[in-house]
Structure 1
């Protein structure tokens, strides 16, 4: 006979830690198609929602996101010219001397798949 799960929403740190402990146990033991796998799915969702609310992660500034994508994709400043509009603009954007325009944001989002919500943040200019 299967044990009835006692899942509930995560309301505090104690619930959160208990859910993480249970997830750790289930990760090693939940077989596909079982009640334990279903419990793992639900607990993972609940922990994710709790973390979103209580441990929000700040989005990077646009320049950091662009540089990260450059590194990830193996592209250089020259490759950015088609998104930002030329060598001077690439230099100004990457050195925090120019804000991204709407057309730059669109091209970066469409071409490099950088989330628009990251790109629209204002850059602290130097």
Structure 2
């Protein structure tokens, strides 16, 4: 029988893994099953200490989970009930809410403590540039509408600025 002892180095680790292989599949409730359980706990503890895994930022954790499980943004949209919210989260334009974290934790099994940690949002200037582009587009549209009213549809189309004609009865 294997003497259970602390795992202090890679040699101890290898010996414990070999013992787990030998004990795998033993009947539950036996002394061998107890030994297997204790070894599994010791191995897990050693591996977490020896090869720690850095915690991912919340958005990266969501993306990794989606990739590993063959999920898409559409699946996240269904979970959140909104396509735009899913996009904003994945593109780091919006923070996760408590409700979103609860849904991700309950439905997808992501640890809530991974999702509540702070993370950087996308650069504000990029968002502001997009917003100013939308503002310019709205201004351009208003200008075209004024021109349509002022000169009529034909004049605006001649200038190549309107793609559709208003039907007249």
TM-score normalised to structure 2 length: 0.55
- 1:25 and 2:22 aligned: yes
**Is the CA contact 1:10–1:16 (under 8 Å) kept in the aligned structure 2?**
yes
Q: Residue 50 of structure 1: CA displacement?
A: 1.2
**Structure 2 residue ranges without an equivalent (≥5):** 123-169
Q: Which has the higher contact order (CA 8 A, sep 6+)?
A: 1
Q: Tell me the secondary structure at the aligned position of residue 89 of structure 1.
A: helix
Alpha-carbon separation, structure 1, partners of 2:106 and 2:4: 41
1:81 corresponds to which residue? 80
The number of residues matched between the two structures is 119
Alpha-carbon separation, structure 1, partners of 2:106 and 2:9: 40
Q: Residue 124 of structure 1: CA displacement?
A: 3.6
**Is the CA contact 2:79–2:103 (under 8 Å) kept in the aligned structure 1?**
no
**Structure 1 residue ranges without an equivalent (≥5):** none
Aligned CA distance change for structure 1 residues 18 and 124 (closer, same or farther; 3 Å): same
The alignment yields a C-alpha RMSD, in angstroms, of: 2.9
Query: Rg bigger for which structure?
Result: 2
**Is the CA contact 1:69–1:112 (under 8 Å) kept in the aligned structure 2?**
no
Q: Tell me the secondary structure at the aligned position of residue 53 of structure 1.
A: helix
Post-superposition Cα deviations, 1:30-69, rounded to whole Å, max 9, x if no partner, equal: 3444332221111111111111222222333322333425
